[in-house]
Amino acid sequence: MSKCSNGLCSVKRGVSGFQSQARLAVDGHKVLATGFNVSVVDGNLAMLLSFNQPNGPALFETALTAHFKGPLRSLSADVRVKGARVSLLGDIGELGPRGGSIEARLTLKHSLDGKNTPVFQVEAWGRLTESQLKCSMAVNPALGSSLALIIQGHRLLHSKELMVKVVQNIPQLMFYLPGQLNTRTQVNHSSSRVASVVELSSGRRRLSARCELVVLQGGYMQAMELNHTFPQLKPLPRAVAVRTLFEAKNWSHQIQHGTVWGNREIRLTGVYSVPPSLEIGNHVLKGKLRI
């Protein structure tokens, strides 16, 4: 059992921050030293926190700096714990004379002492404007197992489109995600028409889906089409199409429907007439089904 334990703590405050230190000694031997410093000057923040052994390796050290004034704002953090280091560097800012776009960058690294390359690394970048989106992310770009993600999109008055591309060779993800995957989604719309397209590709495998809805005078038309070459979708035929047309004119209502399911085709036609009076004619319902 120790005979004597001593502790010392000091705090110094200033106009722009403060500094604090604490030390612990047992039987005259220094066993722990801590420090916590914070300063804020003209939109810049700096913070340092540490736990050290005076005669041994550092137990814990972290440094944080931030700039939060002006069009460009940045943040950096560095954490060291027993031979390991995690660093984070990011910034975000407005571009253009009126700040019409925003751009951001982020870098995250996890490294070990004595290693030339980090064991884990993430790099990300993105730009957003009123009509466009562009961003990318890379995981472990300097290592053999990596992942890359690219996203692009645009937004116009009557059209929206989003494209995503993923390339990876991480063994833990190969069971859930193919080595390369591309997707594209587009939507076009007007006052009387909405159309969308979804495309997916992975290697030689393809999938495309198209949908359309048109409002007609006294009716509507809707269509859907699906084509694919993915074996995982084996319960579905490689080609599926559905189209429906409905029209109402005077006292006549007509519907036409067609479905294509692989090599099979079904067509249905129906007409329903409702004259305003029996003197003109009777109510008539006609239907035709062809398989």
Which of 12, 38, 65 represents a domain boundary (last residue)? 65
Which of 160, 186, 212 represents a domain boundary (last residue)? 186
State the residue range of the domain holding 31.
1-65
Do 74 and 178 share a domain, yes or no? yes
Q: What is the pLDDT of residue 27?
A: 66
Q: How far is the C-alpha of 248 from the C-alpha of 268, rounded, in Å?
A: 17
Do 74 and 170 share a domain, yes or no? yes
- pTM > 0.85: no
Do 144 and 80 share a domain, yes or no? yes
Q: List Cα–Cα distances, 76 to 66, 87, 264, 274, in angstroms.
A: 6, 7, 62, 75
Q: How far is the C-alpha of 184 from the C-alpha of 197, rounded, in Å?
A: 8
Do 144 and 232 share a domain, yes or no? no
Do 149 and 231 share a domain, yes or no? no
Q: How far is the C-alpha of 162 from the C-alpha of 122, rounded, in Å?
A: 23
Do 42 and 74 share a domain, yes or no? no
Do 109 and 6 share a domain, yes or no? no
Q: How far is the C-alpha of 179 from the C-alpha of 146, rounded, in Å?
A: 10
Do 58 and 81 share a domain, yes or no? no
Q: What is the pLDDT of residue 70?
A: 80
Which of 40, 65, 90 represents a domain boundary (last residue)? 65
First-to-last alpha carbon distance for the chain, in angstroms, is 95
At 34 the three-state DSSP class reads: strand
Do 175 and 209 share a domain, yes or no? no
Spatial contact of 35 and 23, defined as CB atoms under 8 Å apart: no
* Tens of each residue's pLDDT in the chain, 291 residues: 556 767 778 788 877 777 888 887 776 667 778 888 898 888 888 998 888 876 666 678 899 999 988 888 999 999 988 888 999 999 999 876 665 789 999 999 999 888 878 889 999 999 999 889 999 999 987 677 899 999 999 999 899 999 999 999 988 888 888 899 999 999 999 999 999 999 999 989 999 999 999 999 889 999 999 999 998 888 889 999 999 999 988 888 999 999 999 889 999 999 998 887 766 777 888 889 888
Helix (H) or strand (E) holding 11, with range, is: strand 5-13
Do 176 and 211 share a domain, yes or no? no
Do 45 and 94 share a domain, yes or no? no
Do 92 and 176 share a domain, yes or no? yes
* Number of domains present in the structure of the chain: 3
